Every structure is written in C-alpha cells, then in structure tokens.
Amino acid sequence: MRESIRKAKRIVIKVGSSSLTYQNAKLNLGRIDKLIREIVDLKNQGKEVILVSSGAVAAGQGELNLVERPQTIPEKQALAAIGQGILMKTYQKLFSEYGQKVAQVLLTQKDLTDRKRYLNSRNTLNQLLQYGVIPVINENDTVAVEEIKFGDNDTLSALVSSLIDADLLIILSDIDGLYTADPRKEPTAKLLSRIDDISHEIEALAGDAGTKRGTGGMITKIKAAKVSTRSGIPLIIANGSLDNVLSQITQGVEVGTLFLSQEKLASREKWIAFNLDVEGQIVIDSGAVKALLEKGKSLLPCGILDSKGDFSAGAVVDIINQEGDSLARGLVNYSQREIEQIKGLHTSKIKERLGYQDYDEVVHRDNLVLMS
C-alpha cells in the first residue's frame, strides 16, 4: 500500500498551526520555507499540490504579541482578519522565490453545502491546477461563525480532497501519527503504522484536543480520515517537523499512520454524505436494514419505526437501526411531521393518511448513501 502512494498525482497537504508557528504564535519561517521547498519539489516531479493551511488566527495573535489565544468569537475573527493577510503574503513571497505561483481560496461550509457553489468550487480549483498554480486554502474564519467556533482544517482538507478527487491526503501535525495511547502521557504507547478500518476502538484512541495554537486534535484527524477514506482517498498523518517528510511519504517510506481508502463514492453521494448538515434521524426495523444494506432498495414507510428532529422535506437525515448505529444518510421526500403519520404503513396507504402522495419512498435509493 505504501508503494501505491508513490503513484499519487493529485495531493492535498494540510498543515496545522503548530507546524507553522512558534510557542509565542510568531511564524516559524524556517519550517515554512522547508515545507515550501518540499512542495515545490513535488511540483517539479509533475504532481499537483493543494495546500490547506491553518495559522491565520495564530499569525494574528503573534502580530499583536498576545500571550494567550483569545476565546471569544469576535476576537478570533479579528485575529483571523489580521493573520490571513500575513500568512498569505509569506506563502506568496516564499513560493515565488522557487518560481511557483499561489492562489488564496477561502471557503466556508456553505460553499460545500449548496450544490451549485460546491460544483463551482470544484471547477475553480481544477482550473487553478490546470494553470499550474498552487491553491492555498483556509476556512473563511473572519465571517464564518460556526466554522471558527467548531470547525477545523483537518475536516476541511478531507472535504477538499473529496471535492477534487485527490489521490492522497497528507495531514502534517506535531505528532508522529495515531498511537495506541497518548504518547505525551503514556511512554509505552506504540505508533500504529496502518489502519485498515476506522472502528469504534480506533476512534476511542483519539484522546483530547490539540495544542493551544490550533483548533484540532487527533479527534478531528480521525473524522477527516473517515471522510477521506470513504471518498476513496488514502490519508497519512505525519509529523511536520520531520526532515523531508513529504518526500519520504510520496516515495513510499513508512512514515506516520496510513489510513487505507475504502470503496469510492460517486460525486453526488459524497456531497450528500459529507457536505450537508444532518437535521434528524430515522429509525428503521430489521427488514428495512436488510433491504437497504443487502438489496440496495429505497427506504419505504413500512420499515420506519421512529423519526427524530424537526426537519422538512429535502433535508438530510441519518438512517439508524434500533441499536442506534448509523447505517445510511439521505435526502427525505417527506417532513418529520409527515413521516410520523405514515411510519409503518404500506406505500398504498400514504394518500389515505396524508390526503396526498408526492412520493412512494421516504428516501429514494438515488438520494441515499450507505455509511457502513
């Protein structure tokens, strides 16, 4: 599997704040320059590179000489506004010294939620790559309240990888990869070099959040791995401070933790599965579970036991079994109020109960993605 990494042509590289800044939040120019040299070397090999960069808030913090990272939303947004320009100016200057052009791309979750904006974002990134330009992507923290409060660039890097059909996602952090325990607390913890499947046990290894200079930790990286691998893209978590880390990874050297890719979803399936907000849940019986997972059928009212949430027709919901396991995700044809009235009924009884029948299915197979 490491050998197959060598063939990756389109690579997304995510670098965290802790890999770009010192403890005082000032930019670590030496490390940034080393990262850029490695990226340029990949470009010189004929590879396409997309850089997802954290560090705007930290750069703003360093510029104002603030000792502690602020906690309020307005403070963080102000620092992002200050730091984003500093960070991009640094990238533009250093990349240009090696003859490379860069483009700043700021995204919010809404850009990937709306189908038209989703497709436009993909077209723009593809065009930049055709021009030979390196896109430098970050969340638009200055205006995106939810993103700055809960978001992280680990997840963004996975969504971008899925968006542009990348061949490989590399997340550079301040840790060597996923361990059997937190190596900062457990000296006997062992590095896991390969993850075949992201089980509940693997998720439990994630531990706490990351450093004070970043918003993510191993938890967000596991979340990113679930998106990436389900999109058919392998992911590697590695230590950004290692010498020639990108060269080693792309040459197939065993560095960090490799999460193996799973069966690839189609473009629309990826959009439904990862980019839309989940607004509720539908609980189904064993017969419906078998119909969805084994027979590839649509979800009909007769297999529904319960619904949770206050959602309208067209919303995205998680479809779960009676034990609470998430099985699928899809766009519903009926609202939660309507589903409560028709649950357990045969399709022929929908009109009798509601007075109308817009669809036979609660979730059509074309709008349903299996998540397990």
If asked whether residues 134 and 264 sit together in one domain, one would say: yes
221 sits in which H/E element: helix 218-230
pLDDT of residue 255: 93
The pLDDT of residue 273 is above 90:
no
Alpha-carbon gap, residue 315 to 310, rounded angstroms: 10
303: tokens are 């297999």
255, two tokens: 């560095």
CA atoms lying within 13 Å on the CB side of residue 40: 17
9 close to 207: Cβ distance less than 8 angstroms? no
Evaluate if residue 297 carries a pLDDT over 70: yes
* The length of the chain, given as a count of residues: 372
Domain boundary among 203, 235, 269: 269
Same domain (yes/no): 164, 251: yes
**Tokens standing for 51?**
């850089």
The count of domains in the chain is 2
Domain extent at residue 27: 2-269
| Token duo for residue 245 | 């880390």
Domain final position from 269, 297, 325? 269
Residue 151 exposure: Cα atoms within 13 Å on the Cβ side: 25
CA distance 57 to 142: 9
Same domain, 137 and 38: yes
Q: Write the CATH number for 338.
A: 2.30.130.10
Q: Convert the pLDDT of each residue in 200-220 to its tens digit.
A: 888 888 765 444 444 447 888
Q: Clarify whether residues 245 and 173 are in a common domain.
A: yes
End-of-domain residue from the set 245, 269, 293 = 269
CA distance 109 to 297: 30
Q: Which residues are annotated as a binding site for substrate?
A: 54, 141, 153
Q: How many CB atoms lie within 10 A of CB 357?
A: 15
Do 258 and 334 belong together in one domain? no
Please tell me what DSSP assigns to residue 301: G
Name the phi and psi angles at 225, rounded to 5: -65, -35
Say whether both 244 and 109 belong to one domain: yes
Token digits of residue 128: 């930049």
β-bridge mates for residue 48, sequence order: 10
> What's the confidence (pLDDT) of residue 214?
44
- Give percent of the chain with pLDDT exceeding 70: 95
Using pLDDT thresholds of 50, 70 and 90, give the confidence band for residue 141: confident
341 with 237, same domain: the answer is no
Place of tokens 């992911």: 235
Residue 317 in contact with residue 332, Cβ under 8 Å? yes
Same domain, yes or no: 167 and 239? yes
pLDDT in tens, 313-362: 999 999 999 999 999 999 999 999 999 999 999 999 999 999 999 999 99
**Residue 325's CB: how many other CB atoms inside 10 A?**
12
Alpha-carbon distance of 258 to 169, in angstroms, equals 10
Quick one: pLDDT at residue 209? 47
| Strand ranges (E), 129-242 | 134-139, 168-173, 194-195, 235-239
Euclidean distance between CA atoms 145 and 301, whole angstroms: 37
Tell me the DSSP string of 305-326. Answer: EEEES---TT-EEEEE-TT--E
Q: Which of 135, 174, 178 is nearest to 156 (CA)?
A: 135
How high is the pLDDT of residue 148? 43
According to DSSP, the residues that pair with 52 across neighbouring strands are 14, 137
Residue 101 has which token pair? 């052009």
Q: Does 301 lie in the same domain as 158?
A: no
Lowest mean pLDDT among 240-249, 267-276, 322-331, 338-347: 267-276
Contacting residues for 72 by C-beta, under 8 A, at least 6 apart: none
Binding site as annotated, residues: 14, 54, 141, 153, 173-174, 215-221
Give the span between the Cα atoms of 323 and 305, in whole angstroms.
12
Mean pLDDT, range 125-134, rounded to an integer: 97
Same domain, 329 and 262: no
Give binding residues for ATP as ranges. Answer: 14, 173-174, 215-221
pLDDT tens for each residue of 3-55: 779 899 999 999 988 889 888 889 999 999 999 999 999 999 999 999 999 88
Q: How many CB atoms lie within 10 A of CB 146?
A: 12
pLDDT above 90 covers what percent of the chain?
A: 65
Q: Give the mean model confidence (pLDDT) for residues 235-254.
A: 93
Alpha helices in 69-189 (DSSP H): 73-97, 109-113, 115-130, 145-150, 153-163
Q: What is the CATH number of the domain that holds 228?
A: 3.40.1160.10
The pLDDT assigned to 112 comes to 83
Do 177 and 321 share a domain, yes or no? no
Check residue 256 and report its DSSP letter. Answer: S
Across the range 160-186, mean pLDDT stands at 90
Residue 333 · residue 362 · CB < 8 Å: yes
pLDDT band at 151 (very low <50, low <70, confident <90, very high): low
pLDDT band at residue 150 using 50, 70 and 90 as cut-offs: very low
> Are both 136 and 253 inside the same structural domain?
yes
